[in-house]
Amino acid sequence: MRRRNLIPAISTVAVVSLVAACGGAGGPSGGGGKISDDKIVLGVLNDQTGIYAELSGPNGVKAVEMAVEDFKAKHGDDAVSKNIEVVVADHQNKPEIANTKAQEMYDRQKADIILDVPTSSAALAVATQAKAKKKLFIDISGATTALTGESCNKYTFHYAYDTYMLANGTGTAVTQAGAKNWYIVYPDYAFGQDMEKSFSKAIETAGGKVLAKKPTEFPNTSGDFSSQLLQAPASNPDVLGTMHAGGELVNLVKQYNQFKLKDKGVGLSVGLMFITDIHSLGSDALAGTRFTDAWYWNFDEQNRQWADKFKEKTGSRPSFAHAGNYSATMAYLDAVQAAGTDASDDVVKNLEGKEINDFFLRNGKIRAEDHRVIHDAYLAEVKPKSEVKEDYDYEKIVTTIPADKAFKPVSESTCKMG
């Protein structure tokens, strides 16, 4: 597969052409519409080199490419699969860069859809552009509930998880298990702020109490969380809840262990964790920690089969963001196929209300009311190293949270779809 760089810089846009030649315009099976510009362009916008690069990053792009390859293998050389490109940009976890890159993708590179976009502030910026340009955006790696709440719009979909799902699973379960008093540390931007609110509500609903809420700068370029962590024992909490992700979570947990907070009676709860985080730290650093996962590669044989293919391509096991990028790409391409066109409004109509059951979405449904994609979620526990049978075999699934219980119900949605 060829990759050619258009601008040699960290925030460059790379283009991966998945076919060698453009075919003539025509209508795919299932309709008489046409494919604009005789091609479908998929934009992947994420963190390619920073704190969120491991959880999605370059391998998130690879997952999208895998979906395109599988779609082409399934449908052959028809009008949809004949010419598909994947364009890539690095938003550096900055909303202003995400905003600019989204404009470039939609306008200059003629992207029909943008995928992935970790960092909630960046995701909200892209959602604004999607609405303005009337082009699709499926967010996989961002977490803010605003995407399907007050900032929802006709062209934006939220695919894998959100802060409500995480809090509803972990905050509720850990509190009900006896950790009533919480000390929350969160990154001070859209994601962390939303996580703090969602977890505080879930904890209090479950009969717990949040004793303190400590923000940290984002991005935390120094990697130093000592000020917030060393203050924790004075509040006498049962548990320290960290709302960080990626590289920041790794640094915070290292310092939690370094300061021996567990020995001082302060347990650890992680709001958001990816398999890549556990791999970076080693499972013993997090052994016994419970968290909510959107998907786990070794959950069953169906998941493992896809994970084996992913490992052949990348050399590592996939995070739920990687799996979600594949699934979302396939859902979009299937919708174009069914609609007979890549015209945004027609594709949106095909996606709304769609039920999906694949290796990623179990009991999945794309809600028409707010474009929240609901599916089964999982309360997981990190295994100690002694129980790890192979590399990346880090999770034990404690329970499955049904799709209709995992996410905020439509009756509580603040979305005003325009």
> What are the average pLDDT values for consecutive 10-residue runs of the chain, which has 418 residues?
37 40 36 78 98 97 98 91 96 97 98 98 98 98 97 98 97 97 97 97 98 96 96 97 96 97 96 97 96 98 98 97 98 97 98 98 98 98 97 97 96 91
Cβ pair 383, 395 in contact under 8 A? yes
Phi and psi at residue 364, in whole multiples of 5°? -80, 145
Contacts of 333 (CB under 8 A, 6+ apart): 40, 67, 68, 71, 80, 81, 84
* Domain 164-293+377-407 CATH assignment equals 3.40.190.10: no
pTM score, whole prediction = 0.91
pLDDT at 33 (0 to 100): 59
Domains 4-161+300-374 and 164-293+377-407 share a fold: yes
Contacts of 257 (CB under 8 A, 6+ apart): 285
Cα–chain center distance at 355: 19
User: Which class is domain 4-161+300-374?
Assistant: alpha beta
Q: Where are the domains of the chain?
A: 4-161+300-374, 164-293+377-407
Buried b (16+ CB within 10 A) or exposed e, 177-212: eebbbbbbbbbebbbbbbbbbbbbebbeebebebbb
pLDDT at 79 (0 to 100): 84
pLDDT at 77 (0 to 100): 83
Measure the CA–CA gap between 276 and 159, rounded to whole angstroms: 20
Tell me which residue of 120, 100, 140, 132 sits closest to 344, measured CA to CA: 132
